[in-house]
Structure 1
Amino acid sequence: MANCDNLFREFNNTIKLSEPKKNSLRTSRNSLREKVKDKFKEKGGYDLKFHWQGSFAMNTIILPKDDDYDVDDGAYIQGEKIPTESIETLHNWLMEAAEEHTTLPPKDKATCVRVFFKEKYHVDLVLYHKKTNSRPQLAHKNAGWTDSDPKEFIEWFNARSDDSGQLKRVVRYFKTWADELRGEMPSGLIFTILATNNIRFNDRDDVSFLETMESIHTTLNSQFVCYRPTTPANENLFGGYSETRKKYFMDRLSSFIQSGKQALELPNQKDACPKWQKHFGERFPCNLAEDKLEDSKSFDAPAFIKSDARSADQE
């Protein structure tokens, strides 16, 4: 049976964000934060606090095939009273700060202001209001101030992660597959929830990924839902999917599962690798695949080891 674990690990090294890129992001973020902080102090006398959120904060961010990636940064207005200014006005302040910071024009969206950088990434500035001992409220241009707690989601994810970092790698594999297909594939948030709820830990990443796909397929075949586990809780993220879009995803998931099963049954990496590369794209490292017979052996899943969110990830 072909063991492609080392190819998956090398693939993970290719698709995850490198430390130089992370450092570049942090530098851009810090400078942008200062601009936003000064703007809100000048315009409304507000003191802001900031928190990374989303895939960067959870360390599941990937480098897309077109090299254009995004990160989310939460800006929190502190205080017991909701700001008197309209959300439209507050977004305009974010826009002004962004325009003063970069030469590329920002984009005002319902839930954020998107700031573009010439290094081919963008930062989504998401504005919140935070009372003491209360959940944050998102400044949504259409829905008003709505409950939303991205830090709660990060804590939920970290509590279910393993010390070896396999869950984070599996999430990256799903995101890279979606990036390869583009189109009507689920979002990174949906894949993060599905993978976390259905993860099948194993010493081998190829086996873990295949068995997690199978678990997701079984779950969605029974009931095609994906509920957000944190505030706003119980929102079905598949709620707006048409039957056509559901079928599109399930058909591609079934096809990937079939290829994964075939890959595991083949005698060597050289024969098995194209089965994985067919779905992951050309970045999956078939150039490293070896043409030698694998020993037949069991790949039963080991006991799950719960991660302490404070510990370093073994990636």
Structure 2
Amino acid sequence: MSVFDCGQDMTKFHNDEITLSKDEQDEMRKRRNIGRRRLEIGLDEEEHRQPELTCSQGSYAMHTMVQDADCDYDIDDGIYFAEDDLVDELGLPLTPQEAKERVCAALSRDKRFTSHATVLLKCVRQVYNEGYHIDMPVYRIREEDDGEGGVNEIYELAGNGSWEASDARATTRWFKGVVADLNKAKEGRGDQMRRVVRLTKGFARSRVDWKELTTSGIVITKLVVDHFVPSEGRDDEALLETWKAIRDQLKKSTQVAHPVNTSNLAEEGNAKVSFFKEKLDWALGELAVLEKGCTRSEARQAWDSVFDTDYFENLPEPKEEDKRAFFIPASQKSDVRHDGNGRFG
């Protein structure tokens, strides 16, 4: 059954209300760099060694961050130390807790912030006065003999009481690889999938009281990648059909596998995934009107209801030529906003 065409409406909504503008991207980069500089200065003042590398990860690195009216942004920046540099004054190796505390102490030397950095289970978090926060997972780099005269580097995260084999960069490579493969198969398909990820994350956080109850961005990303249904020139239809596929899968199981590790992102019965499934099921009920011969006004009201906005209803009526051909040629598709032609992703 055909779906009422709100393709242009959805593209405008994504560009105006969901993805970050060029100015916002630049601001995120500035905030990340400020956090890195604070850590560098703090470690020098504490007379500790600097990390071997720092690497953006999560939605920032995948280019799937979405706008937030409360400036509740989560910037993930992995801190990687050589194993020999994570030792105490006696040369004894630091525990995962001690490694995180070292980073936390270095960040906390800057007294200009209302909130001190805090140690969490798997990262160090610094909350900024503007509302956003930077999470710094702490890693150590171990070297192991590969058995052939060479060396393998093993990356381990300072977790809750143990060093856990982990490297978030592999997850970023996985996602970017999927996008690239889809784009090779069909120009713009991977870019559409990234937009569907952003739109789905925007929906999942569209109400303030949902934010703490719904599942994480990486779980949503994995679900979209696994169940993405492309629709050339129609982000609205791609979003709707992808949501249906995700809903159907979550009815069978709320377990979500990790894209690169043997562990799961979510286990069976996970409360946050279950909450997301419940809200997705509700949204699809609201959007059922799109397949029942509705009017444009009814279609826009449905999307407004789902995203808790009045954006769609306030859009102007499409021009006559748009009504005859309500799609975007593949050659014109990109994640571009009307703010200096900034591109994100």
TM exceeding 0.5: yes
Q: Indicate the TM-score class for this superposition, using the shorter chain for normalisation.
A: 0.7 to 0.9
**Following TM superposition, by how much is the alpha carbon of 1:12 offset from its aligned partner in structure 2, in angstroms?**
1.3
Query: What pairs with 1:1-315 in structure 2 (closer than 5 Å)?
Result: 2-13=4-15, 14-41=17-44, 42-79=46-83, 83=87, 84-101=93-110, 102-105=112-115, 106-132=117-143, 133-140=152-159, 142-161=160-179, 162-163=182-183, 164=188, 165-181=191-207, 182=210, 183-203=212-232, 204-231=234-261, 233-239=262-268, 241-242=270-271, 248-282=275-309, 284-290=311-317
Which TM-score applies when normalising by structure 2?
0.77
Q: Distance in 2 between matches of 1:219 and 1:261?
A: 19
Q: Distance in 2 between matches of 1:80 and 1:240?
A: 41
User: Is the CA contact (8 Å cut-off) linking 1:50 and 1:73 kept in structure 2?
Assistant: yes
Deviates more, 1:66-75 or 1:204-213: 66-75
User: Is the CA contact (8 Å cut-off) linking 1:65 and 1:180 kept in structure 2?
Assistant: no
Q: Residue 4 of structure 2 aligns to which amino acid in structure 1?
A: A
Q: 1:295 to 1:29 in 2, by over 3 A?
A: closer
Q: Residue 77 of structure 1 aligns to which amino acid in structure 2?
A: F
User: Is the CA contact (8 Å cut-off) linking 1:52 and 1:72 kept in structure 2?
Assistant: yes
Q: Distance in 2 between matches of 1:79 and 1:286?
A: 56
Q: Residue 306 of structure 2 aligns to which amino acid in structure 1?
A: H
Give the structure 2 partner of residue 305 of structure 1: none
**Following TM superposition, by how much is the alpha carbon of 1:135 offset from its aligned partner in structure 2, in angstroms?**
3.6
Q: Distance in 2 between matches of 1:70 and 1:279?
A: 24
**Following TM superposition, by how much is the alpha carbon of 1:20 offset from its aligned partner in structure 2, in angstroms?**
1.7
1:240-260 per-position Cα deviation (integer Å, ceiling 9, x unaligned): 625xx6654433222212322
**Following TM superposition, by how much is the alpha carbon of 1:130 offset from its aligned partner in structure 2, in angstroms?**
1.6
Please give the secondary structure, in 1, of the residue aligned with 2:8.
Answer: helix
Q: 1:48 to 1:130 in 2, by over 3 A?
A: same
**Following TM superposition, by how much is the alpha carbon of 1:52 offset from its aligned partner in structure 2, in angstroms?**
0.3
Q: Residue 50 of structure 1 aligns to which amino acid in structure 2?
A: T
Please give the secondary structure, in 2, of the residue aligned with 1:286.
Answer: coil
Q: 1:127 to 1:239 in 2, by over 3 A?
A: farther
Please give the secondary structure, in 1, of the residue aligned with 2:242.
Answer: helix
Q: 1:50 to 1:221 in 2, by over 3 A?
A: same
CA RMSD of aligned residues (A): 3.0
Q: 1:91 to 1:43 in 2, by over 3 A?
A: farther
Q: 1:35 to 1:296 in 2, by over 3 A?
A: closer
**Following TM superposition, by how much is the alpha carbon of 1:114 offset from its aligned partner in structure 2, in angstroms?**
1.2
**Following TM superposition, by how much is the alpha carbon of 1:80 offset from its aligned partner in structure 2, in angstroms?**
6.2
Q: 1:6 to 1:114 in 2, by over 3 A?
A: same
Asked which structure has the greater CA Rg, the reply is: 2
Q: Distance in 2 between matches of 1:87 and 1:286?
A: 52
Deviates more, 1:192-201 or 1:12-21: 12-21
Q: 1:202 to 1:18 in 2, by over 3 A?
A: same
Deviates more, 1:203-212 or 1:100-109: 100-109
1:129-158 per-position Cα deviation (integer Å, ceiling 9, x unaligned): 123533411111x23110111111111111
Q: Distance in 2 between matches of 1:34 and 1:249?
A: 37
Q: Residue 88 of structure 1 aligns to which amino acid in structure 2?
A: Q
Please give the secondary structure, in 2, of the residue aligned with 1:287.
Answer: coil
* Aligned residue pairs, count: 300
**Following TM superposition, by how much is the alpha carbon of 1:210 offset from its aligned partner in structure 2, in angstroms?**
0.6
Q: Residue 117 of structure 1 aligns to which amino acid in structure 2?
A: Y
Q: Distance in 1 between matches of 2:64 and 2:20?
A: 9
User: Is the CA contact (8 Å cut-off) linking 1:269 and 1:292 kept in structure 2?
Assistant: no
Q: Distance in 1 between matches of 2:220 and 2:122?
A: 21
Q: Distance in 2 between matches of 1:206 and 1:128?
A: 40
Deviates more, 1:181-190 or 1:284-293: 284-293
**Following TM superposition, by how much is the alpha carbon of 1:26 offset from its aligned partner in structure 2, in angstroms?**
1.8
Percent identity of paired positions between Structure 1 and Structure 2: 25
Which structure 2 segments of 5+ residues have no match? 88-92, 144-151, 331-341
Q: Residue 16 of structure 1 aligns to which amino acid in structure 2?
A: T
Q: Residue 169 of structure 1 aligns to which amino acid in structure 2?
A: R
Q: Distance in 2 between matches of 1:96 and 1:154?
A: 28
Deviates more, 1:9-18 or 1:204-213: 9-18
Structure 1 runs (4+) greater than 6 angstroms displaced: 291-299, 312-315
